[in-house]
Amino acid sequence: MPARSATLSASPRITDEKITINLGVVDLGQVDLLVQEGFYANRSDFIRTAIRNQIGSHQEVLKEVVARRTLVLGIQHFTAADLKAVQKARRMLDIRVLGLTSFADDITPELALATIRSLSVLGAWHARPALRAALAPRLR
């Protein structure tokens, strides 16, 4: 079954992921100064902008890697109906996503294990705790 990049059913709740960084006091002070001067709304706005600029400077490399690794770019959402169709076809999924992969609450760990051979997510994946635990050994 080919990878799908469109949402298959009810949309997953999309939220920003939180990260923690260590930053020197001088760098942090310079960020705060730019915020005070109105260049950025806040520290997070500055950091998001800096990250987007870095990603943009590597856009060609990212495109090549996404194509080479056959990654789904964006959001991929699975429901129990999706996985039952895979199971009925006697197939196993190798899920590779750059972005967000989400699994609906109606997916049991048993169904996921019967249909998902591997899971590789560059970004984030959302699933109930029991499903996350069941799929953890298949995470690449």
Q: Where are the domains of the chain?
A: 25-57, 59-138
Contact 120, 97 (CB under 8 A): yes
Gap between the terminal Cα atoms of the chain: 20
Least confident piece of the model among 11-15, 77-81, 87-91, 103-107: 11-15
Average confidence (pLDDT) over 39-60: 95
Q: What is the pLDDT of residue 9?
A: 39
Whether pTM exceeds 0.85: no
From residue 29, alpha-carbon distances to 76, 79, 83, 119 in Å are: 39, 46, 50, 40
